[in-house]
Amino acid sequence: MSTFKNLKLEDEIVTGIYDFQGKDIAVEFDLEEDDLTMEDFSELIKDSENWIESFSNENLNTLKSEIAKELTDSAYAGLSHKVSEEDYKNLEAELMLKEIHFFPEEVISLILEAKKEYPDMDIYCQINKQFEIEDLMVE
């Protein structure tokens, strides 16, 4: 039984749904190539299923904490506002995981939102298989 539901190939990308803690999260698999069949994605999907088995609420909360700290520090850099623990906690509480994208070579991108702090924007957090942040951007 697949961990991911409703997998379908569309425009060279496989999309589907993952039930994480009772919430449907969109998943996307992108081999970054053309003329692909569903079969071409089998190894990436299998590797992703193995990784996602170890992805827990604890991992996500740790990442949210790191993301909130990095984004808050960046937002207030050079300003006179003294960043407080409450600033970090407010953003951390607001961060919601909405999508997970899987790419070749163990590249995983989490897409989060924080509707109050970053309306109409997504937070892209590229992580490695050990749940360490490699890149973070808001757009």
pTM of this prediction? 0.93
Q: Would you say residue 71 lies in a domain?
A: no
Q: Would you say residue 76 lies in a domain?
A: no
10-55 confidence digits (pLDDT tens) = 999 999 999 998 999 999 999 999 999 999 999 999 999 999 999 9
Q: Would you say residue 64 lies in a domain?
A: no
113-137 confidence digits (pLDDT tens) = 999 999 999 999 999 989 999 999 9
Number of domains, the chain: 1
Q: Would you say residue 45 lies in a domain?
A: yes
Which residues constitute the domain of residue 35? 4-56+98-138
Q: Is 18 helix (H, G, I), strand (E, B) or coil?
A: strand
Q: Would you say residue 43 lies in a domain?
A: yes
User: In angstroms, what CA-CA distances link 72 with 77, 79, 115?
Assistant: 8, 12, 15
